[in-house]
Chains A and B, each alone.
Chain A
Amino acid sequence: EAGVVQSPRYKIIEKKQPVAFWCNPISGHNTLYWYLQNLGQGPELLIRYENEEAVDDSQLPKDRFSAERLKGVDSTLKIQPAELGDSAVYLCASSLDGYTEAFFGQGTRLTVV
């Protein structure tokens, strides 16, 4: 069974440019998460979806970050415009529902220069 797939694995952009990350969760998983992991830190939740509904986006910086999960499957996380401080690893995870363990993708490492 395929795991959580994220792309791209690495992205380097100049500040003020837009960037988007894509996530394909495990088939049949209704809950999808985007986490942010800064260097030397544990992941922190950005947004959680139950099917296509964002049920927890309290930590998402809405002035520059946006996310969508059309049809309750794939998801895209966007940053516009990117800032130097956005350099981090963006992790996507999915779980069967909101009560079971989450499985993570390999992440997208973003470097903003």
Chain B
Amino acid sequence: AQKVTQAQTEISVVEKEDVTLDCVYETRDTTYYLFWYKQPPSGELVFLIRRNSFDEQNEISGRYSWNFQKSTSSFNFTITASQVVDSAVYFCALSEAGYSTLTFGKGTMLLVSP
């Protein structure tokens, strides 16, 4: 069975601070995919990134960066110089090879204040 744990329920930061959202996963498969989605107050889940289990290279996209470590089964997400518009609930998710169905964590609510 697969499982995604986001231990941080809520994080509050002041604008321009860096913030890291933690994600730990469990799966028996050797091939799997990891995702991050953002859910703003409007409710729509916005796709941010998809990584496969064979690609452990860290990725940077603007102010966003992701750190994937198979040794610790973690896929952490860092926002550099946070902005008020980053305020949202962020979900980490996992899918096993050959199946696109996602198993989500419970999400981390990020509040960025001016």
User: Inside 8 A of A25's CB, which chain B residues have their CB?
Assistant: none
Check A106/B42 contact, CB under 8 A, given A42-B91, A100-B100.
yes
User: Inside 8 A of A41's CB, which chain B residues have their CB?
Assistant: 106-107
Cβ B44 vs Cβ A98 within 8 A: no
**Among listed A15-23, A43-51, A61-69, A74-82, interface-contacting one:** A43-51
Mask of B96-114 contacts with A, CB within 8 angstroms, 1/0: 0011111011110000000
Among B98, B102, B105, B106, the one with the most A-chain Cβ atoms within 10 Å of its Cβ is B102
Check A107/B43 contact, CB under 8 A, given A42-B91, A99-B98.
yes
Cβ A42 vs Cβ B105 within 8 A: yes
Q: Which of A43, A95, A107 contacts B100 (CB 8 A)?
A: A95
Interface of B is mostly: loop
Nearest A-chain residue to B50, judged by Cβ: A101
Check A98/B98 contact, CB under 8 A, given A42-B93, A42-B104.
yes
Write the nearest CB–CB distance from B6 to chain A, whole angstroms: 8
Q: Is A102 an interface residue (CB 8 A)?
A: yes
- Chain B residues proximal to chain A, CB less than 8 Å: 4, 35, 37, 42-47, 50, 91, 93, 98-102, 104-107
- Chain A residues proximal to chain B, CB less than 8 Å: 3, 31, 33, 40-45, 48, 56, 89, 91, 93, 95, 97-107, 109
Closest A-B pairs by Cβ, 5 of them: A42-B104, A104-B45, A106-B44, A98-B100, A101-B50
